[in-house]
């Protein structure tokens, strides 16, 4: 199962890359960490580091990388971006979630 991004998320990442003068060698790293009100929290970062054991996906011209442990929790996830005053930002459509908190950044798998 791949990790994908909506057109809105892709545009936001491309804008962030351009604003910060980052090259096409930079990728989006998706991961999880223990914590948050439901057990796990998402990590989303722009980096130029790709590790040998990373899973690599492409969506809308943006490369997404994920470490093997995090991939167990985020496989099949669609990353979206909403631009709104109330609750805007990156959103994660994760089919592996059993329960999530109201903010949408913390989940239980």
Domains of the chain: 4-108 (2.60.300.12)
| pTM for this model (two decimals) | 0.87
Q: Which residues, including other chains, have CB under 8 Å from residue 10's CB and lie 6 or more apart?
A: 59, 60, 61, 62
Give the sign of the dihedral formed by CA 68, CA 95, CA 109, CA 80.
positive
Rounded Cα–Cα distance for residues 100 and 92 (Å): 11
pLDDT tens per residue, range 72-105? 999 999 999 998 777 678 999 999 887 776 655 6
Rounded Cα–Cα distance for residues 86 and 7 (Å): 21
pLDDT tens per residue, range 30-60? 999 987 666 788 999 999 999 999 999 999 9
């Amino acid at each position: 199962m791949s990790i994908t991004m909506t057109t809105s998320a892709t545009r936001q990442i491309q804008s962030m890359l351009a604003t910060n003068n980052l090259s096409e060698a930079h990728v989006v790293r998706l991961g999880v960490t223990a914590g948050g009100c439901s057990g796990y929290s998402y990590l989303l970062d722009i980096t130029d580091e790709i590790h040998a054991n990373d899973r690599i996906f492409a969506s809308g011209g943006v490369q997404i990388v994920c470490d093997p442990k995090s991939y167990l929790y985020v496989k099949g996830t669609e990353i979206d971006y909403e631009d709104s005053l109330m609750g805007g930002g990156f959103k994660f459509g994760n089919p592996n979630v059993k329960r999530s908190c109201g903010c949408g950044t913390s989940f239980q798998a």
